[in-house]
Amino acid sequence: MESKLEKIVALAKRRGFVYPGSDIYGGLAGTWDYGPLGVALKNNIKNLWWRMFVDSRDDMYGMDAAILMNPKAWEASGHVAGFADPLGEKMFNTMFRTNVGAGEEAQTTYLRPETAGGIFVNFKNVVDSFHPKLPFGIAQIGKAFRNEIAPRDFLFRTREFEQMEIEWFTRESEWEKWFDFWRERMREWVVEIGLEKSHVHETEVPEKDRAHYSRRTIDFDYDFPFGRGELYGLAYRGDFDLSAHAKASGAELSVLDETDERVVPHVVEPSFGVDRTVLAVLDSAYAEDEMGGEKRIFLRLNPAIAPVKAAVFPLVSNKEPIVAKAREIYSSLKPLVPSIQFDDIGNIGKRYRRQDEIGTPACITVDYQTLEDDTVTVRDRDSGKQERVAAKELDIHLTIG
Ligand code: GAP
């Protein structure tokens, strides 16, 4: 029998969410490529995160740093010495090395193993441009790379992945308050993206398992189909990073507090993996039931992140007035709901199944009655129930429904 993970991987490939990396060459371990629906889902997740944690706050600064950084940054951050996993007798540093420049001038550097590094080295730039008062945060979404010894379990442990990270700068005396604050925001996020609540567990990470920079970590674990594993992490990094970079670079990485004293802020870091989010979202959304005497697979995705928000069908594809009306409705909705699809391939049952499998919340069907009274049917993905709605009210229906 197929395991749930195998079913998710098969659906992801079949429907164009995620393909094995370099597929026609037999793949490359630890890499996956996002297809048309996968990139839409991933972008929706990232946009929602950005809206929630950056755009809706006055105390958060977004940025996008280069993936390649001066190797001195990774020496100062402790990653050159300490970012390693046990491999046989020796420790294996999981940072990818690469060369910048050619010939004699070539310099060895690394692909960043966490996006956080780019934030710390830009701390002074952001402070100089915006003069923020403590507490404030800097947020970034971007790729990170780790030469994992054993990549596994689809999107769970890969060698190239994306992170959404916040470095929250606070006075040392207030770190616990902000740690609790961000823990609460992370809980809200998990609900917002529609993860099955009973699958999410918060675990205090013991000192021996914490990253070298962390003084306290809580993992948000998720019950993936293959077992429980880390979904997100919330860490208290103290002043480890800013102090280390200040020492190594000679830059002044402090801010003036309200008594005009220079202080090195302490850092609380909520860190979210994008790919693990996609996997957890697919796992929570994946469902099977029976409808009309047939087995069906559907994704109960939160409409806010569904890659296709709605689909418009003509009931039959060989009656010109019905097809023309369906196209007209589709075109009028497209500017409002850009991720809407038009589908006239196969019979209506097949189209419903296809949209169910990609998690489309609403299917709009134009039929004979539409030509008489300008109403359409709107079918709900989860229940399969249909209601008749006036075509001119579809915009309201789709945006609030
Ligand atoms: N800046 C803190 C940091 O990087 P981490 O726990 O090593 O902490 C944060 O990584 C998040 O990045 C994890 O919770 C996970 O979601 C994601 N992540 C880490 N390694 C990963 C991998 N090999 N494949 C996919 N996602 C990964």
Q: Tell me, using a 6 A CB cutoff, whether residue 230 lines ligand 1.
A: yes
Mean local confidence (pLDDT), 154-162: 98
Position with higher pLDDT, 152 vs 400: 152
Terminal Cα-to-Cα distance of the chain (whole angstroms) = 37
- Cα 392 to ligand 1 centroid, rounded to whole Å: 46
- Cα 344 to ligand 1 centroid, rounded to whole Å: 42
For 136-148, what is each residue's pLDDT tens digit?
999 999 999 999 9
Whole-model pTM?
0.97
For 102-123, what is each residue's pLDDT tens digit?
998 999 999 999 999 999 999 9
For 66-95, what is each residue's pLDDT tens digit?
999 999 999 999 999 988 888 888 999 999
C-alpha 202/C-alpha 231 separation (Å) is 10
- Cα 152 to ligand 1 centroid, rounded to whole Å: 14
Contact 118, 69 (CB under 8 A): yes
Q: Tell me, using a 6 A CB cutoff, whether residue 232 lines ligand 1.
A: yes
Q: Does domain 308-397 have CATH number 3.40.50.800?
A: yes
- Cα 82 to ligand 1 centroid, rounded to whole Å: 16
Q: Tell me, using a 6 A CB cutoff, whether residue 162 lines ligand 1.
A: no
Q: Tell me, using a 6 A CB cutoff, whether residue 302 lines ligand 1.
A: no
| For residue 259, pLDDT beyond 90 | no
| For residue 400, pLDDT beyond 70 | no
Position with higher pLDDT, 261 vs 274: 274
Q: For residue 277, give the ligand 1 atom closest to its CA.
A: 16
Q: Tell me, using a 6 A CB cutoff, whether residue 276 lines ligand 1.
A: yes
Assigned fold of 4-283: BirA Bifunctional Protein; domain 2 (3.30.930)
Query: What pLDDT shows up at residue 398?
Result: 82
Structure tokens at 335: 């500017």
pLDDT band at 13 (very low <50, low <70, confident <90, very high): very high
Query: What pLDDT shows up at residue 195?
Result: 98
Going from N- to C-terminal start, the domains of the chain cover 4-283, 308-397
C-alpha 229/C-alpha 109 separation (Å) is 30
For 359-382, what is each residue's pLDDT tens digit?
999 999 999 999 999 999 999 999
- Cα 163 to ligand 1 centroid, rounded to whole Å: 7
Q: For residue 148, give the ligand 1 atom closest to its CA.
A: 23
- Cα 396 to ligand 1 centroid, rounded to whole Å: 40
Nearest to 311 by CA among 298, 295, 327, 297: 327
Q: Whose CA is nearest to atom 12 of ligand 1?
A: 273
Q: Please list the alpha-helical segments (H only) found in 193-319.
A: 240-249, 274-285
Structure tokens at 203: 């675990």
